[in-house]
Chains A and B, each alone.
Chain A
Amino acid sequence: MYDYSDFDTAFVRNRAAEFRAQVARRLDGSLSEDEFRPLRLMNGLYLQLHAYMLRIAIPYGTLDPTKLRQLAMIAERWDKGYGHFTTRQNIQFNWPKLSDVPDMIDALADVGMHAVQTSGNTIRNVTADHFAGAAADEVEDPRPTAELIRQWSTDHPEFQFLPRKFKIGVTGSAHDRAVTRSHDIGLRILRGGDRQTGYEVTVGGGLGRTPMVGQVIRPFLAKDDLLAYLEAILATYNRMGRRDNKYKARVKITVFENGMEAFRDAVEAEFDHFRREYSGATRRGLARIEPFFAPPTFRDAPEDSYLAARKADPVFRAWSDTNLAAHRAPGHAIVTVSLKAHGQTPGDATAAQMRLLADLAETYSHGELRISHEQNVVLPHVRKADLSALHAALKTEGLATANIGLVSDIIACPGMDYCALATARSIPVAQEIATHFRDLGLEAEIGALKIKISGCINACGHHHVGHIGILGLDRAGVENYQITLGGDHTETMTVGERAGPGFAYDEIVPAIERLLRAYLGLRSGREESFLDAYRRLGAGPFKAALYPAEAARDAA
């Protein structure tokens, strides 16, 4: 875990003091809302449907117990006792009072956190693989790179007024769990011919109104060149990106309109220049940061007790079947704690749950926690011998749901229950799908499935890359839900295909049931996932299940 330097601390404290003064001037009437709005957005403070919302960055999804306990304290003291984890590895508080926000920001600064650049046309919170530093398939921990990018991009004077927001995601594994291809810049650490690690750089990914898969701009970038190359891309985008039309302002459109060749040439020209300017800076930066992320000492322990518990307790067995991932150290596992208990709001955690997770991280996971873009919490380093005790402890706060990667492990954005931009609700759709399939008893049978729900075209809920995507729209004053099929968020990122006309609020769960029952009938066997079956068979049979009347008419 990176600890703030004196420089970081001074910066965050100064920003907190500056914002406190700005809030005071808004409250005493010296600032109008037009003047104040950009200032509050620079500090992550939005106004939503029912209240303000404070969005706090969790850089690359990494938390320690001290930080998580402070978030629990903030939730209880100034909010309604819970927080919402988002697909961008941020946490949002939905009910702060404007007059309390300066105190909340001070409390964040006390533990080395802030809400800077969680809004606005700047480089946003840098995200990373939530299994970073633990995954068995990892080439290298992406967090030192992500932390270096956080330091470089925070308050970067050139990039405070970009044409549009800018997101960077980093992974250290070939299997992409961080959806890097949907980022403005995606970085994947890989080994070059000389065994040295470097980056594959993609640019121009994005979801939203015009979903695009990031394209490779550099198959291999030497590590030492990272900051110079990022600066070159950002400078090129800052110059070439459109400012005349908000919907054409993201770098994906800049790349698309100019063509990758022209964009790459412009980046290379800038790179030539920045490379000299940045000489050695990346290397020095990484050397300074890497020790903070030194792996803990893993002590292997016999797995007998784990295997015995699996045999003895079917509930534990079901949980360990779904919620564990392969760790690089023998005798260890990565635990994903589900924030998707059936019927609960995806990504929400109460203060009591946060405190328990902080305690459990201390006891069982070398004091480390991660927030995943899938809105779950990860305990990255748990000894298998401790899993049974951990599972028992998780049960005490309703955190032992065994559903990771299943139909109820749904990504859902806040939608029209909170978000001012929403065109329909997402949360209750997720809640109803989860409880419906639990009640049908079909969850285990259906197996691996990613359902992702957004409450508007902005796609914060990643619906384009869900195996099943659901997009909530407003059709003539009524909530309407459009289904996309066959999306994929991994290294083989694919934007899902629209299935057809949308469904009314009370038709969407039955539609998903028809779709999944069709899948169960069509699959070649249990090992063929929904996505695999869709890829093998194409959209036809799934559309027929969604629209039986049309299918019958066509057949007649």
Chain B
Amino acid sequence: MSRRFTPKIVTANALVEGDVVYLTADDRWSRHHAEAELIEDEAHGQIRLIHAEAQQALVVGACLAEARPGPNGPEPVHFRDAFRARGPSNYPHGKQAAGIRETGNV
């Protein structure tokens, strides 16, 4: 029996700033995890990943990461993805400094 596909998002780092970005359903790169497109189908995930990998002028290191649905949008599953979505724990730098309300695209 094949394993059930766990929902995923496509994430990468912005080419210039290195900041973590997420691919949205309408083909933007958002700085916010909650705005990511939650992918529930494996084949669709592969298509979205290929689409992301082709955008070398905008992002670096596109990959799929596990996520789960939440009240405001997809939430990270693994602690590594939670840290990527928030920033380091020793200083209020990275995304947590920008504030979660800010919206911005690459």
A29 touches B57 (CB 8 A): yes
A479 touches B84 (CB 8 A): no
Taking a contact as CB atoms closer than 8 A, the residue among A95, A416, A477 that contacts B77 in the complex is A477
Distance, CA A50 to CA B13, complexed state (A):
8
Distance, CA A474 to CA B81, complexed state (A):
13
Identify the closest chain A residue to B53 (Cβ): A33
B20 to chain A, nearest CB (A): 6
Distance, CA A422 to CA B18, complexed state (A):
17
Distance, CA A433 to CA B93, complexed state (A):
23
B94 touches A51 (CB 8 A): yes
Identify the closest chain B residue to A424 (Cβ): B79
Identify the closest chain B residue to A348 (Cβ): B90
**A49-B20, A97-B17, A425-B89 known; A33+B83 contact, CB < 8 A:** no
User: What residues on B are CB-neighbors of A50 within 8 Å?
Assistant: 18-20, 84, 87-88, 93-95
The CB with the most chain A CB atoms within 10 A, among B78, B83, B90, is that of B90
Identify the closest chain B residue to A98 (Cβ): B16
User: What residues on B are CB-neighbors of A27 within 8 Å?
Assistant: 15-16
Distance, CA A50 to CA B12, complexed state (A):
10
Distance, CA A48 to CA B17, complexed state (A):
11
**A47-B18, A49-B83 known; A417+B13 contact, CB < 8 A:** no
A416 touches B15 (CB 8 A): no
Distance, CA A345 to CA B89, complexed state (A):
10
* Interface flag for A52 (CB, 8 Å): yes
* Interface flag for B61 (CB, 8 Å): yes
User: What residues on B are CB-neighbors of A94 within 8 Å?
Assistant: 88, 93
A47 touches B61 (CB 8 A): yes
Distance, CA A50 to CA B33, complexed state (A):
13
A428 touches B93 (CB 8 A): no
User: What residues on B are CB-neighbors of A96 within 8 Å?
Assistant: 18
Tell me the A493-521 residues at the B interface (CB within 8 Å): none
B78 touches A417 (CB 8 A): no
B89 touches A33 (CB 8 A): no
**A47-B61, A51-B94, A478-B79 known; A417+B19 contact, CB < 8 A:** no
B100 to chain A, nearest CB (A): 15
* Interface flag for A288 (CB, 8 Å): no
A31 to chain B, nearest CB (A): 9
User: What residues on A are CB-neighbors of B78 within 8 Å?
Assistant: 477
Taking a contact as CB atoms closer than 8 A, the residue among A49, A98, A431, A478 that contacts B84 in the complex is A49
* Interface flag for A99 (CB, 8 Å): yes
A340 to chain B, nearest CB (A): 13
* Interface flag for B4 (CB, 8 Å): no
* Interface flag for B101 (CB, 8 Å): no
Identify the closest chain B residue to A100 (Cβ): B16
**A33-B61, A417-B88 known; A80+B93 contact, CB < 8 A:** yes
* Interface flag for A427 (CB, 8 Å): yes
A98 touches B18 (CB 8 A): yes
B56 touches A52 (CB 8 A): no
Identify the closest chain A residue to B95 (Cβ): A50
The CB with the most chain A CB atoms within 10 A, among B56, B80, B88, B95, is that of B88
Supply 12 A–B pairs (Cβ within 8 Å), ascending by A: A27-B15, A47-B61, A50-B84, A52-B18, A80-B93, A98-B15, A98-B17, A416-B83, A417-B83, A428-B89, A428-B90, A477-B78
Q: Which residues of A contact B (CB under 8 A)?
A: 26-27, 29, 32-33, 47-52, 80, 94-99, 345, 416-418, 422, 425, 427-428, 431, 474, 477-479
- 8 closest Cβ contacts across the A-B interface? A51-B18, A417-B88, A52-B18, A50-B94, A345-B90, A427-B90, A29-B57, A428-B89
Q: Which residues of B contact A (CB under 8 A)?
A: 13, 15-20, 56-57, 60-61, 77-80, 83-84, 87-91, 93-95
**Given contact pairs A50-B94, A95-B18, a sample of 6 additional A-B residue pairs in the complex whose CB atoms are under 8 Å apart:** A49-B20, A51-B94, A94-B88, A417-B89, A417-B90, A425-B83
